[in-house]
Amino acid sequence: MRIERLILIAFLGNYLINNIVAAIVALLPLSGNTMAQYVIYFVLAALAAAAFTWWYMKGMSTSDALKQGAIFGAGAFLVAVVTAFVSGISGVLAQTGSFGQLVSVLPNFGPFIWNWSTLALLGYWVLPAAALGWYLQMMAKKSSGGFHATPSTSSTM
């Protein structure tokens, strides 16, 4: 159940980040200042990724929240890369209708992966997810007061 939840929430998150966050950044009056646009996009995408991580982790045990957050972030990154690959292949096939053209375009996916924007994609999915997981795990430890559920084994004679 977790893997299906991960894929579906990550797919929805990827779609909303690619469309809604990009549209919000495009509406900001930053004419010609592309660096500011990239920074604002990254920050808003990271906030959205944190919100989707929280949604994914809602109802889960917080004892290993850091690990679960990192797993969600890495899984969401993979979902985003696979989505880009499948939509690129589908677009070429739909536009040309030729498998020969499709095969000639496949080598272009390698440079797409080895681009700095892929590192940014990895960053805005994994960093907020792991940070939120760490925070939830830390808060769970604080709320327990450092006490464990198992009683100590003191001998009374």
Give residue-wise pLDDT tens across range 45-95: 999 999 999 999 998 888 899 999 999 999 999 999 999 999 989 999 999
Pick from 21-30, 126-135, 141-150: least confident: 141-150
Provide the Cα torsion 33, 35, 36, 39; round to 10°.
160
Q: Is the pLDDT of residue 144 over 60?
A: yes
The residue count for the chain = 157
Grade residue 155 by pLDDT with cuts at 50, 70 and 90.
Answer: low
- Spatial separation of the C-alpha atoms in residues 57 and 53, rounded to whole Å: 6
17 against 99, higher pLDDT: 17
- Average pLDDT value for residue range 18-26: 94
Prediction pTM value: 0.84
Question: Which pLDDT belongs to residue 39?
Answer: 93
Torsion of the alpha carbons at 128, 133, 137 and 143, rounded to the nearest 10: 70
Residue 145 pLDDT:
65
Whole-number pLDDT of residue 81 = 95
HEC string of 19-77? HHHHHHHHHCCCCCCHHHHHHHHHHHHHHHHHHHHHHHHCCCCCCCHHHHHHHHHHHHH
Boundaries of every domain in the chain: 2-141
Please tell me the predicted confidence (pLDDT) of residue 98. Answer: 87
